[in-house]
Chains A and B, each alone.
Chain A
Amino acid sequence: MIDALSVRLYYLVAFVLIGIGTYMMIDKGNLVKKVIGMNVFQSGIFLFFIVIAYVSGASPPLLTAPGPYVSPLPHVLILTAIVVGVSLTAVALGLIVRIYGEYSTLDTEIIREVSDDE
Chain B
Amino acid sequence: MSDLPALLVVFPIFASIVVLLAGLARSRTGWPIAALASVVQVGMALVLGSRGFGDEPVRYVVGGFTAPYGIELVVDGLSATMVVLVAVVSLGVLGYARTAGPRSNPFYATYLLLVAGLTGMSVTGDVFNMYVFLEITGLAAYALVASGKGGRSALAALKYLLVGTFGASLFLLGIGYAYVATGTLNMNDLSAQLAAVGYTSPLVRVAFGLLVVGLFVKIAVFPLHTWQPAAYAGAPDTVSGLISALVSTVSAYALIRIVFSVFTVDFLAANPFARNVLMAGAAVSIVVGSLLAVSQSEIKRLLAYSSVSQFGLIIGAVAVANGTALTGAAIHLVGHAIMKGGLFLTAGLVASTTGARTVDEFEGLGEYLPVGAGSFCVLALAMVGVPPTIGFVGKWYIALGAVEAQAWPLAVVILSSTLLTLAYFARLIERMYFREPVATSSSVETAESKVAIDVATDGTGTPPSMGMWATVVAAAVLAVVLGAAAFEYGQLLEPTIEHLLT
Q: How far is the CB of A12 from chain B (nearest CB, A)?
A: 15
Task: Assess whether B481 is interfacial by the CB under 8 Å rule.
Answer: no
CB closest chain-A residue, reference B173? A45
A91 interface residue per 8 A CB criterion? yes
Query: Are A115 and B132 in contact, with the CB atoms below 8 A?
Result: no
Contacts of A81 in B (CB 8 A): 131, 172
Contact between B128 and A77, CB atoms less than 8 A apart:
yes
Q: Which residues of B contact A77 (CB under 8 A)?
A: 128
Say yes or no: B158 contacts A31, CB within 8 Å: yes
A60 within 8 A of B: no
Residue of B nearest to A102 (CB): B151
| Residues of chain A in range 29-72 having any CB-CB distance to chain B below 8 Å | 31, 34-35, 38, 41-42, 45, 48-49, 52
Chain A at the B interface: SS class? helix
B364, chain A: closest CB distance, angstroms:
27
Chain A residues lying within 8 Å of B161, measured Cβ to Cβ, are 88, 91-92, 95
Closest chain B CB from A42 CB (angstroms): 6
Assuming the contacts A80-B132, A92-B158, asked whether A74 and B179 have C-beta atoms less than 8 A apart, the reply is yes
Chain A: interface residue total (CB-CB under 8 A):
33
Closest to B146 in A: A95
Which residues of A have CB within 8 Å of B154?
95, 98-99, 102
- Shortest Cβ distance from A56 into chain B, in angstroms? 16
Give the residue of B132, B158, B173, B185 whose beta carbon is less than 8 angstroms from that of A99: B158
Question: Would B176 and A115 count as touching, CB distance under 8 A?
Answer: no
Residues in B whose Cβ lies below 8 Å from that of A87: 139
Chain B residues within 8 Å of chain A by Cβ, number: 29
Residues of chain A within 8 A (CB-CB) of B158 are: 31, 92, 95-96, 99
Q: Chain A: which residue is nearest B184 at the CB level?
A: A73
B143 within 8 A of A: yes
Residues in chain A near residue B139, CB distance under 8 A: 84, 87-88, 91
Which residues of B from 228 to 286 have beta carbons under 8 Å from A?
230, 233-234
B132 near A48 (CB under 8 angstroms)? no
Instruction: Answer yes or no: A23 CB below 8 A from chain B CBs.
Output: no
130-182 of chain B: CB within 8 A of chain A:
131-132, 135, 139, 142-143, 146, 150-152, 154-155, 157-158, 161-162, 165-166, 169, 172-173, 176, 179-180
Is B152 in contact with A115, judged by CB distance below 8 angstroms? Answer: yes
Contact B165 A98 (CB under 8 A): no
Bound form: Cα–Cα A23–B58 in Å? 44
Other A-B pairs, 10, CB within 8 Å; known A95-B142, A95-B157: A25-B162, A45-B172, A45-B176, A52-B176, A80-B128, A92-B158, A92-B162, A96-B158, A99-B158, A102-B150
B residues contacting A by CB (< 8 A) are 128, 131-132, 135, 139, 142-143, 146, 150-152, 154-155, 157-158, 161-162, 165-166, 169, 172-173, 176, 179-180, 185, 230, 233-234
Q: Nearest 5 pairs between A and B by C-beta?
A: A102-B151, A98-B154, A95-B158, A84-B135, A95-B154
